[in-house]
């Protein structure tokens, strides 16, 4: 506790960096995953899911190091971390997003077609709203893993909360390590709670159905 109180400014700066290094990939990756989940034909879904599953199995540090050789970015910096984490989010969310769209009731889609909605209108006004619970559930899982994996970015020069682990181990300061762990835990919990609240706001009908049950 004493170490944390003496280093509040450092903890604040690292937390801000950790947040944006986590949130940017989460936003990019979730948008890409939802888009792919909806447009990939059923006959290709298994292959895409298998490829993304293999990608997710690659250790994050290995991907952080390999990306510069593949896309020509600097080995040290946040770009590699953001791109790698975005790929992990896509890999994590693709299957759950596809499952969320598959659970949209067929009668709702038939009614939308009967009303003359175009395919994109059906997606935006019917399928997406009804798929929100499943999409948010997948996003909550992706958010937890992203916040955790972002800390590894400290190894490749991104000074986020993972820096407290490295510095704490090197200088043998247990309080610093514990502070980093606690801060990441709090971010993950708050982000999960925020996504849960977002799901409740976007699906008001779910609260009504619970009351009537």
Task: Report pLDDT digits (tens) over 27-83.
Answer: 999 999 999 998 888 888 888 888 888 888 888 888 888 888 888 777 777 888 899
Contact 57, 114 (CB under 8 A): no
Pairwise CA distance, residues 10 & 200, whole Å: 35
pLDDT of residue 210: 45
Which residue's structure tokens are 């003359």? 116
Under 8 Å between Cβ of 175 and 2: yes
3-class DSSP state of 168: helix
Closest CA to 111 of 93, 100, 125: 125
Domain layout of the chain by residue ranges: 2-204
Is 73:9 a contact under the CB 8 Å cutoff?
no
Q: What does the pLDDT read at residue 206? A: 62
What pTM does this model have? 0.86
> Integer distance in angstroms from the first to the last C-alpha of the chain?
47
- Degrees (nearest 5) of the Cα angle 84, 87, 91? 140
Residues 169 and 162 sit within 8 Å (Cβ to Cβ): no
In this structure, are residues 78 and 158 in contact, taking their beta carbons and an 8 Å threshold?
Answer: yes
Least confident interval from 15-29, 53-67, 148-162: 53-67
Is residue 17 within a helix (H) or strand (E), and if so which, with residue range? helix 8-39
CA-closest candidate to residue 178, choices 188, 167, 189: 167
Matching residue, tokens 């989460």 = 26
Class of domain 2-204: mainly alpha
Give the whole-number percent of the chain exceeding pLDDT 90.
Answer: 46
Backbone angles phi, psi at 185, to 5 degrees: -60, -45
Q: Which of 23-32, 168-177, 201-210 has the lowest mean pLDDT?
A: 201-210
Residue 208 pLDDT exceeds 60: no
Summarize pLDDT for 96-125 with one digit per residue, the tens.
Answer: 999 999 888 889 888 988 888 888 888 888
Residue in 162, 160, 132, 146 with CA at minimum distance from that of residue 17: 160
**Is a pLDDT exceeding 70 seen at residue 156?**
yes
């Amino acid at each position: 506790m004493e170490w944390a109180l003496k280093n509040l400014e450092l903890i604040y700066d690292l937390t801000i960096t950790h947040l944006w290094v986590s949130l940017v990939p989460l936003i990019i990756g979730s948008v890409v995953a939802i888009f792919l989940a909806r447009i990939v034909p059923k006959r290709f879904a298994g292959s895409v899911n298998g490829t993304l599953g293999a990608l997710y199995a690659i250790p994050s540090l290995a991907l952080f190091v390999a990306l510069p050789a593949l896309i020509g970015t600097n080995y040290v910096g946040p770009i590699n971390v953001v791109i790698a984490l975005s790929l992990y989010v896509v890999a994590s969310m693709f299957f759950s997003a596809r499952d969320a769209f598959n659970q949209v009731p067929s009668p709702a889609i038939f009614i939308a077609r009967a009303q003359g909605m175009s395919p994109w209108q059906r997606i935006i006004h019917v399928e997406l709203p009804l798929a929100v619970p499943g999409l948010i559930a997948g996003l909550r899982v992706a958010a937890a893993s992203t916040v955790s994996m972002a800390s590894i970015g400290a190894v490749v020069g991104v000074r986020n909360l993972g820096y407290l682990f490295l510095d704490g181990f090197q200088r043998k300061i247990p309080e610093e390590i514990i502070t980093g762990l606690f801060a990441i835990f709090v971010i993950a919990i708050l982000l999960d709670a925020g996504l849960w609240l977002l799901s409740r706001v976007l699906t008001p009908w779910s609260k009504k159905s619970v009351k009537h049950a």
